[in-house]
Structure 1
């Protein structure tokens, strides 16, 4: 039996100011006040030309559906139907409205409670994340919190993790990438120290977020170098891509490394840190996801463009064999990355060790099959170039093969 004194407290901002009932179709007037559509329509149809709540004269009688509030009311309603409270003071848990959110942001503190509500709001929808990203000064405020934490002024690691989680949710929706980079890197704030700390000590979720944030702020050559030059960042990101790690963690680490690794100096440093062996181990693991394999091959392709990377790769026969194995096995994108690496090693830079490794891994068969497949023009051309290299090898059965032939007969 349900006690008579049990009831659900309705959040005030869910109620229409006219009817005082929960709004079914909330709409906003030009004054910014939200009403239930049926109530405000009756008010306007009665000849009124003012906002009922503020009594301001309406410059326009048109109203805009408040989709965010409608979604929050729906979530609250669904939760209320399945939620029994024990007292009148126990409102159901829900994300804050945009209006409440602005008040939360003004009163952000270091206990993490406000950030928990903001995270709840951001996770509700892409529209909510865009709302936060467009809010004046919000990204700068987050950068200030992050920088202060890096200077040792934040005593709560939980608070720091929440800041990073919010950044991860909204940075992808920011239009001005330059503003983000300037706020977090090109100031006296110590944001990188905080992101590094989360990478080292955070939960899996916050480490994923930290890696994503690092990738998101690497928007130009200067920012990439600043991130790579921060002692410990590259090595911590490399720790994320071990095969035994969480797949989402691996993917976040790979994505960040790909973004950061474009400058030649960074590529050389990654090679020195053992990136090639780590990537070879990753693509050789049993059943890595398509996305992880594609990103691992993309990063291998990136480091193969520097002398140090090519040298390390050519000395590692197992690495070359693993790359050959991924041709045709994963996806068209993975095949293109793999062929580009082999083309760079064997054709562009004519490394005999790489050529031998490809031949030993049955790479010629893969190349011949590619020539007959519906591959992209660039892959077809690189395959033809590779066949030319092996054609001039007197030990190869392709010595008499004409690379202009479009159909390969079986031997």
Structure 2
């Protein structure tokens, strides 16, 4: 009854709060921190009410006092003020004509205890391989994560990635992936927003390594490759995110993936027959990690295999007209393939090699320039095939590489790129007068990088 009287009084005062066409928000509806209309009012142990987002930001910043009273809080519990929230909603409905948006009833955030209890039950269900029960629990976590960023942070902070990766590994051990496909896809979808593992500061190093080990196991990798091959678009995206996270965190995961049957072929197909730009770009990045270890016999074998599939020509065609990140990834892989003899031979045979590499210098980004110069430098050091190298250098001069490299040194670049560019200039200088040709449009609107 008291609350009804308060609501009636607030309604009676509405006309007093309107000044011309402006609507003044009642003071009791305003958050003391943000000074905005509260959408989810909560009360602290000090008795003062704040908007939940504002007070959480205050407490997350390491503050232990009530912002209004400055007294030390006995408890950090935030009690929803349902009566005030209902008054604010009623006031908003009554003033819709003044542009006040409808304020939905907020969902109560999930607590750490709720998350811990669910994860405990999930671990127990995984031990008994109860797929149906696991799916229910995983979908509940997905629902929590979809409600708010706060819920996601709470789920991550309570070690969900460790439990989920262990569950994924357990159900990936069965060769009949189709039986558990729905559960595996749901777990990957959840883990998608728990990455990257390297930034999970709320977890200790042991938990992060455990999650990587489970997700990087042979069974898990085989399942991820299967989902890339047979899954729908969503499953392909989530699988690629997981693979990219693994191979970028530790080279040993890249080598483990390279040893999985069909892995390189599946990745090649995703580049050759694009499903979507994001998957193409991610596939190139995963391939880059697979071939980026110069001392690994597995990486060398993968390079040869990819070259035989036709990846060198595919990369050049892809680089001709692609957006920045895809172009960088394609050039990075091309540079790595130039470390093997088969890759160099394919590059020499392709008429696009020199025009594309030279064109991308100073055109895309500093990283693309670095990869392009590195690839040209590698192709110019094939001592066993001096005749091919001379033809290559002559073609490079004809498309304006000498001026590009001189300009690159003037504008500034990294020390390694600088050394390679200087060496190339010295090698090509004797042949320059008869062969070079300059396309001046390449040098317009260039700025120093420092």
Normalised by the length of structure 2, the TM-score is 0.63
2:187 to 141, 147, 163: 163
Name structure 1 gaps, 5 residues minimum: 1-12, 28-34, 46-59, 86-90, 399-411
Change (3 A) 1:161 1:232: same
Contact conserved, 1:254 with 1:296, CA < 8 A, in 2? yes
Residues 130-149 of structure 1: matches in 2 within 5 Å? 131-136=154-159, 138-149=161-172
Contact conserved, 1:200 with 1:236, CA < 8 A, in 2? yes
Whole-Å separation in 2 of the counterparts to 1:23 and 1:371: 58
- 1:379 corresponds to: 417
1:336 to 370, 375, 381: 370
Contact conserved, 1:164 with 1:210, CA < 8 A, in 2? yes
- 1:199 corresponds to: 228
Q: CA deviation at 1:332?
A: 1.7
Change (3 A) 1:156 1:348: same
CA deviation profile, 1:231-280 (whole Å, cap 9, x unmatched): 12222222333485422222221222222222333333332332222211
Whole-Å separation in 1 of the counterparts to 2:121 and 2:242: 24
Whole-Å separation in 2 of the counterparts to 1:384 and 1:36: 62
CA deviation profile, 1:79-129 (whole Å, cap 9, x unmatched): x996799xxxxx7668644443334433442245224225426x726x945
Contact conserved, 1:243 with 1:281, CA < 8 A, in 2? no
Residues 12-411 of structure 1: matches in 2 within 5 Å? 24=51, 96-108=110-122, 109-111=134-136, 112-120=138-146, 124=149, 128-129=152-153, 131-136=154-159, 138-151=161-174, 152=176, 155=179, 157-172=181-196, 173-174=199-200, 176=205, 178-186=209-217, 190-218=219-247, 219-242=249-272, 244-262=274-292, 263-285=299-321, 288-347=322-381, 351-393=389-431, 396=434
Normalised by the length of structure 1, the TM-score is 0.68
Whole-Å separation in 2 of the counterparts to 1:276 and 1:95: 51
Contact conserved, 2:397 with 2:432, CA < 8 A, in 1? no
Name structure 2 gaps, 5 residues minimum: 1-39, 57-63, 94-99, 123-133, 293-298, 437-450
Count of residue pairs brought into register by the alignment: 344
Change (3 A) 1:166 1:137: closer
- 1:49 corresponds to: none
Q: CA RMSD in A?
A: 4.2
- Structure with greater helix share of residues: 2
Whole-Å separation in 1 of the counterparts to 2:278 and 2:164: 28
Q: CA deviation at 1:36?
A: 11
Q: CA deviation at 1:326?
A: 0.8
Q: CA deviation at 1:338?
A: 0.7
